[in-house]
């Protein structure tokens, strides 16, 4: 039985008090800060969080015969482990050549409709073995962890036929067991219409509903079901049918909504009581209002807008309307090839005018809600799993000020030190 005592943190952003409901409106600006703080961890859980003085006393009276590992957080800011609630991290290959096409004016959907984009990544992923996918994805998870990200959601959607969708999800499950980063899986068979169903989207929708969803659910390979509800991908009606079928099999709905054109995705998310609607660059005012009324979390992806060179989502309007906002990298091979959630946080602040406090709420407790894990992670509170990041920063504001550099000093996952002095110390 060991104990970890984190002493003299310049600032701890605990994000406490929002484990039952995501933060909305002004709550997103409140971090529950502790100056000169101390944290105690026992058996992988937080057992004391407060002033350093009180933490020291707790250690003195509770350590008994336990070994105590003391970590100095002097001059550092401590936050919950960062959470990324929207990734397509399991895939093979890369698409750097698309950048030149896009710089010459090609649009994201034109590349897809010409058989590239998601369909190019599908070919590479179908060709790859589970071992190859594990090797490629492990590198991405290592980078996530180096940036302070301790939990991610991971979607399928580059298989687009049953055996390869299952392959992607099995890889995510294996990595969840093997890597310090936790993965929460989402089935996204309706990511694009594969070449063999070209001109027969309806036929593909039937395959997703009648074959893929039951197979995924029977093997308990996913918790969520997602659909690319977009002009040129799946209509609102098709998306509804798929998500309702997913619900029947116990998969909670998520939606890629209103990314390229206004399409009614936000409204559909509200109608179905989706856990989240993601992207939302072109969400209607009515859609935003309905999301707020139905408690649908907006997962915003400013890195995708940045990389596709378009205007980001209206985060301020959503927060003002009472929609809980979370942020994500959208890690994928085409529209957002980055694992740097801290840089996405910088973009959220600088391009969507979210405050540094709102940004931190969006990448911790609200992100935890977006993957149904807020009872376990997302804040530094007694009884929660000890996932945390120590940043080389005197306060949380500094994270959005010293931008585009990696300020991560130390990362703890389930009470284990996995990054120390910015270097990996696991496996």
Q: Which residues are annotated as a binding site for Fe(3+)?
A: 86, 88, 256, 330
> Which residue is it, tokens 């290959």?
93
Cα–Cα distance measured from residue 342 to residue 400, given in angstroms and rounded to the nearest whole number? 8
Of 113-121, 132-140, 162-170, 310-318, which part binds ligand NIG (CB under 6 A)?
113-121
* Residue number with CB closer to Zn ion (78 or 229): 229
First-residue to last-residue Cα distance in the chain: 21
**Could you say whether residue 335 binds ligand NIG (CB under 6 A)?**
yes
* Burial tier of 308 (Cβ tally within 10 Å: 0-12, 13-18, 19+): middle
Do 324 and 26 meet the contact criterion of CB atoms below 8 Å apart?
no
**Could you say whether residue 329 binds ligand NIG (CB under 6 A)?**
no
Interface residue with ligand NIG among 226, 259, 358, 387 (CB under 6 A) is 259
Q: Which residue is nearest to Zn ion (CB)?
A: 330
Q: Which residues pair with 72 in a beta bridge?
A: 7
- Where are the strands (E) in 52-113, listed by range? 67-72, 77-80, 82-84
76 contacts which partner out of ligand NIG, Zn ion, none, CB within 5 to 8 A by kind? Answer: none
Helix, strand, or coil (residue 372): coil
* Residue number with CB closer to Zn ion (42 or 330): 330
Residues of the binding site for 4-imidazolone-5-propanoate: 95, 158, 191, 259, 335
378 contacts which partner out of Zn ion, ligand NIG, none, CB within 5 to 8 A by kind? Answer: none
Q: Name the phi and psi angles at 325, rounded to 5.
A: -110, 135
**Could you say whether residue 379 binds ligand NIG (CB under 6 A)?**
no
**Could you say whether residue 304 binds ligand NIG (CB under 6 A)?**
yes
In the complex, the smallest distance separating the C-beta of residue 112 from ligand NIG, rounded to whole angstroms, is: 7
Cα–Cα distance measured from residue 423 to residue 427, given in angstroms and rounded to the nearest whole number? 12
Touching Zn ion, residues 326-345 (CB under 5 A): 330
Touching ligand NIG, residues 72-91 (CB under 6 A): 88
Residues of the binding site for Zn(2+): 86, 88, 256, 330
**Could you say whether residue 117 binds ligand NIG (CB under 6 A)?**
yes
- The closest alpha carbon to 335, from 397, 259, 412, belongs to 259
Stretch 199-238: interaction string toward ligand NIG, x if CB under 6 A: -----------------------------x----------
Cα–Cα distance measured from residue 22 to residue 378, given in angstroms and rounded to the nearest whole number? 10
Do 344 and 400 meet the contact criterion of CB atoms below 8 Å apart?
no
DSSP label at residue 330 = -
* Residues of this chain that bind Zn ion (CB under 5 A): 330
* Residues of this chain that bind ligand NIG (CB under 6 A): 88, 117-118, 121, 228, 256, 259, 304, 330, 332-336
């Amino acid at each position: 039985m060991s104990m970890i005592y984190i002493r003299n943190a310049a600032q701890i952003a605990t994000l406490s008090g929002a484990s039952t409901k995501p933060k909305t409106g002004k709550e997103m600006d409140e971090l529950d800060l502790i100056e000169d703080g101390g944290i105690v961890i026992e058996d992988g859980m937080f057992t004391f969080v407060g002033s350093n003085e009180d933490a020291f006393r707790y250690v003195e009276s509770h350590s008994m015969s336990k070994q105590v590992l003391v970590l100095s957080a002097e001059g550092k800011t401590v936050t919950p482990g960062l959470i990324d609630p929207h990734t397509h991290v399991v895939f093979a290959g890369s698409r750097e050549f698309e950048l030149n096409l896009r710089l010459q004016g090609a649009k994201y959907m034109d590349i897809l409709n010409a058989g590239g984009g998601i369909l190019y990544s599908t070919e590479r992923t179908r060709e790859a073995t589970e071992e190859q996918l594990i090797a490629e994805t492990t590198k991405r998870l290592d980078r996530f962890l180096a940036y302070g990200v301790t939990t991610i959601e991971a979607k399928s959607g580059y298989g687009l036929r049953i055996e390869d969708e299952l392959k992607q999800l099995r890889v995510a499950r294996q990595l969840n067991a093997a890597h310090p980063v936790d993965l929460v899986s989402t089935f996204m068979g309706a990511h694009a219409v594969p070449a063999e169903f070209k001109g027969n989207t309806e036929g593909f929708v039937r395959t997703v509903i009648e074959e893929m969803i039951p197979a995924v659910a029977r093997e308990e390979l996913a918790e969520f079901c997602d659909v690319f509800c977009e002009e040129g991908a799946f209509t609102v009606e098709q998306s509804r049918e798929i998500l309702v079928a997913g619900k029947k099999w116990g998969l909670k709905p998520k939606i890629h909504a209103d990314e390229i054109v206004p399409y009614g995705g936000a409204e559909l998310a509200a109608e179905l009581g989706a856990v989240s609607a993601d992207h939302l660059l072109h969400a209607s005012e009515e859609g935003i209002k309905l999301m707020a009324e139905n408690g649908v979390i907006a997962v915003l992806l400013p890195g995708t807008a940045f990389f596709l060179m378009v205007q980001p989502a209206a985060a301020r309007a959503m927060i003002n309307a009472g929609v809980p906002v979370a942020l994500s990298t959208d890690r994928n091979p085409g529209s957002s090839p980055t694992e740097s959630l801290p840089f996405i946080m910088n973009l959220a602040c600088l391009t969507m005018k979210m405050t540094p406090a709102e940004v931190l709420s969006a990448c911790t407790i609200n992100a935890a809600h977006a993957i149904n894990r807020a009872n376990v992670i997302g804040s530094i509170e007694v009884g929660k799993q000890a996932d945390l990041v120590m940043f080389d920063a005197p306060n949380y504001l500094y994270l959005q000020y010293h931008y585009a550099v990696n300020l991560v000093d130390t990362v703890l996952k389930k009470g284990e030190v996995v990054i120390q002095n910015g270097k990996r110390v696991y496996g």
